[in-house]
Amino acid sequence: HQFCRIGERSIIGGCSKIVQDVPPYSTADGNPARARGLNIVGLQRAGFSREQIRALRHAFRKVYRSGLNNAQAVEELRAGELTPEAARFTDFVATTKRGIIAGGKSADDAED
């Protein structure tokens, strides 16, 4: 959609239908697009440290896998210490006007 925001360092699968905002550092795919996980390869190529990726993974899971609504997840994340990247992710979720894309199954789900 023409008014959706695509967060920094996200990756969108080909032919995906984007109708809501895609958070930073995410991988989105499908019709309609769903958040599949973090763009780990892109983050590693950009020189993100393991700690930065770990903090982003925590924020992503809080928003998408905790069962909390976005406002509750943002509140819980902001109650703790955030890396600058996790803060950008959290701020993006907090300031969305169209909502963020829903979560979907990912390779990370198999690990849990």
Which amino acid is located at 66 in the chain?
Answer: S
How far apart (Å, rounded) are the C-alpha atoms in residues 25 and 85?
9
- Residue 82 scores a pLDDT above 80: yes
The CATH homologous superfamily for domain 11-104 is: Udp N-acetylglucosamine O-acyltransferase, C-terminal domain (1.20.1180.10)
How far apart (Å, rounded) are the C-alpha atoms in residues 5 and 24?
9
Q: What is the pLDDT of residues 20-49, one digit of tens each?
A: 999 999 999 999 999 999 999 999 999 999
Q: For residue 86, give the nearest of 100, 19, 94 by alpha carbon.
A: 94
How sure is the predictor about 112, in pLDDT bands with cuts at 50, 70 and 90?
very low
How sure is the predictor about 111, in pLDDT bands with cuts at 50, 70 and 90?
very low
Average pLDDT, the chain: 93
Q: Which residues contact 27 (CB under 8 A, 6 or more apart)?
A: 10, 11, 13, 35, 36, 37, 38, 39, 106
Determine contact, residues 26/95, Cβ cutoff 8 Å. no
Domain boundaries of the chain, sorted by first residue: 11-104
Handedness of CA 58, 63, 45, 42 (dihedral sign): positive
How sure is the predictor about 110, in pLDDT bands with cuts at 50, 70 and 90?
very low
